[in-house]
Structure 1
């Protein structure tokens, strides 16, 4: 055990370096030496914060979750109207989860890892539950405000999440399904699963 803390390498910086490597090489293709090198620190500095690769994987997930919370909040808070916030959340999700190559690869790597590791599975399941609750809140508020018609919000949000995961998996075999030119089509398809927007609702993304 080390007797003093190294002066370099903050935990989140190491986790972010690991995220970058996992997104390009895959989790199985990255070892602790590669993570330390990618972060520009010694292996001892890496082990000061994380005792195993599994801990690094979970930490990389934690960084991803925090970035998602910050980014989706920023994407929706400037929209006016309840349904406009739903639109903004879907737009962000398509760009981040499907069109962003690094995020898409990382999340698929985590899903694959979760097949064999219960801790990773529990971590990712918790994040999915959080994301689904976020969308449920937005959709329920849109229905309550009379800006969205949907008979069963809970089922609609569940179907939308399933569709997003399906698009992500299909992109392995049909890369064009997550190409930038597919963004508008994907957004329209996902929004249609949530219900029917009411005409005359407030617009989206007003800036002071």
Structure 2
């Protein structure tokens, strides 16, 4: 039931109170604060258990930042997708500077152990030096409209965050936004999980499989 609650929250535009109500209708009395704790505790575990089945990302990365409010203060969210629409990684940061960009790329490169041949960004001045240092072999592509794929993909995250009643801390925001990326990748077929299951049932079957793994 814990995994079902986490899956509902990540998959659908629900608040914690919505999940509390849905569980109550099924005879499970759980406070919405407990649902929040489940999401924070188990989302990283489920995503980590799925790493072995994740498809290797493509060699063309689109990188951009968007904005979210955390406890009433604007935060930057660094996000990247590849040419196939797989979310590479996400990072919530209080600043939009070279240090944040470096942390984002270091985290993605360390976790995925792959190196892109091309990185597409906007014209932010922090990127050239960071990329020359971390990925000197990659072509850094800066051109008008070239980064449209990642800018359009931000809307998926914004749509999911809309029904929430605010993100309280940077840490909880990071977990939820990373969890959204995990769910987005799972639904788009970027994991070698339950591939023989009908599409409509694939996410539920994958979460059941991952629950056994953790």
TM bin, normalised by shorter chain, reads 0.3 to 0.5
Q: Which is richer in strand?
A: 2
> What TM-score do you get using the length of structure 2 for normalisation?
0.33
| Structure with the largest fraction of helix | 1
Rg: which structure is higher?
1
